[in-house]
Homo-oligomer: A and B are copies of this chain.
Amino acid sequence: MSEVTIKNDEVDIVIGAIQSDLTSFMEAWRPFFSNFHLIVVKDPELKEELKIPGGFNLHVYTKSDIDRVVGSSAGSISFSGYACRYFGYLVSRKKYIISVDDDCVPAKNSSGELIDPVSQHIINLSTPATPFFFNTLYDPYCEGADFVRGYPFSLRTGVECGLSCGLWLNLADFDAPTQALKPTLKNTRYVDAVLTVPARSMLPVSGINIAFNAELVGPALTPAFRLAKEGNLRWETVEDIWTGMCVKVICDHLRLGVKSGIPYVWRQERGNAIESLKKEWEGVKLMEDVVPFFQSLRLSETSVTAEDCVVEIAAAVKERLGSVNPKFVSAAATMVEWMKLWKRVRGQ
């Protein structure tokens, strides 16, 4: 593929508000958010009124919108906590979606300059991905780079990018055990690169700072995998890890790319890792079954869209993981419900 142009009005920035006062968050992002349409979804569990400064082109969705749009068809789908953003994905009408956690602000690069994560995500989605051969100088389409010697010319056109996974400075996205064991561990290393994660290689996608092509992979971003004691701290969740594996398997199957690397966001402290430890172990344990499942999953030739793929993955989850843990049975059921909801609301 050749590079595509993404216009600002093709992009929705979706913010799941799990804290009520978004003033400092919005002000920090103002330079980069002001030219885009924003969708703010208020966590339905959140009681307080949202505080959002003026001057943005935004639409706020609350519990009553969720009830109205989803209604009784919600079934096992929950939009509480981090999952509230998925309602934004559902009601967006845009081709591209960018989503950032509300405890993150724009980071600075190693020269101390403020980074524009929105632009970088758009670059990642608009330039081709190269999942079928690794380029040792990382993204060959970025300024000053190219394909290295030995890279087959037939693979240099690349494929479309489905998902762009950004990273984090300061508080990294470690799990609760790691964070509890190393309470002073902060990520200070700014790695100035983005790369395509090779085909058939799985990665733990973090939902903290991502962007995706909703037409290509949107249906795969489902709030399907909810832990029993899930709270409002990232290290208490694995919903985005699950979603990321679905997207990666689908991208591999449909010959699309997943990129990881820049842009970074600056992630602020929230919560106490030691207190979260009890909750997290469920997620940690489940990964031991989740990862081999997705690594060995091969979709059938008859699945030609992300929707087909999600339905096929749900069936495989139920069949192969259902007996391991009831969590997987409900994840599969939620994915099927989500597919119906997605088709009805997004009209796809």
Q: Which of A221-272 contact B (CB under 8 A)?
A: 234-235, 238, 241, 244, 260
Q: How far is the CA of A114 from the CA of B135 in the complex (A)?
A: 25
Q: How many copies of the shown chain assemble into the complex? A: 2
B203 and A200 form a contact (CB under 8 A)? no
B241 and A149 form a contact (CB under 8 A)? yes
Please indicate the chain B residues that have their CB under 8 angstroms from the CB of A138 in the complex. 191
Please indicate the chain B residues that have their CB under 8 angstroms from the CB of A101 in the complex. none
Counting CB contacts under 8 A, is A188 at the interface?
yes
Counting CB contacts under 8 A, is A204 at the interface?
yes
Of the 9-residue stretches A18-26, A168-176, A305-313, A319-327, which lies at the interface with chain B? Answer: A168-176
A150 and B201 form a contact (CB under 8 A)? no
| A contact face: mostly helix, strand, loop, or mixed | loop
Cross-chain contact of A134 among B167, B173, B201, B284 (Cβ < 8 A): B201
Contact A291/B137 with A146-B182, A185-B144 known, Cβ cut-off 8 Å: no
Counting CB contacts under 8 A, is A190 at the interface?
yes
Q: How many residues of A contact B (CB 8 A)?
A: 59
Q: How far is the CA of A190 from the CA of B172 in the complex (A)?
A: 22
Query: Nearest-CB distance from A82 to chain B (Å)?
Result: 12
Contact A204/B150 with A136-B167, A137-B187, A138-B191 known, Cβ cut-off 8 Å: yes
Counting CB contacts under 8 A, is A154 at the interface?
yes
Cross-chain contact of A144 among B167, B188, B205 (Cβ < 8 A): B188
Please indicate the chain B residues that have their CB under 8 angstroms from the CB of A260 in the complex. 134, 136
Please indicate the chain B residues that have their CB under 8 angstroms from the CB of A182 in the complex. 146
Closest to A241 in B: B150
Query: Nearest-CB distance from A64 to chain B (Å)?
Result: 33
A146 and B185 form a contact (CB under 8 A)? yes
A203 and B134 form a contact (CB under 8 A)? yes
A144 and B187 form a contact (CB under 8 A)? yes
Counting CB contacts under 8 A, is A193 at the interface?
yes
Please indicate the chain B residues that have their CB under 8 angstroms from the CB of A136 in the complex. 165, 167, 173, 203-206, 260
A202 and B133 form a contact (CB under 8 A)? yes
Q: How far is the CA of A151 from the CA of B288 in the complex (A)?
A: 9
Q: How far is the CA of A35 from the CA of B204 in the complex (A)?
A: 41
Counting CB contacts under 8 A, is A47 at the interface?
no
Cross-chain contact of A149 among B134, B153, B173, B187 (Cβ < 8 A): B173
Please indicate the chain B residues that have their CB under 8 angstroms from the CB of A146 in the complex. 172, 174, 178, 182, 185
Q: Which of A139-194 contact B (CB under 8 A)?
A: 142, 144-155, 165, 167, 172-175, 178, 182, 185-193
A sample of 8 cross-chain residue pairs with beta-carbon separation below 8 angstroms, ordered by A number, consists of A144-B186, A149-B234, A150-B287, A154-B288, A189-B192, A192-B192, A198-B200, A200-B200
The 8 A-B pairs at the shortest CB distance, nearest first, are namely: A150-B204, A198-B201, A150-B241, A134-B203, A149-B175, A191-B193, A152-B287, A152-B291
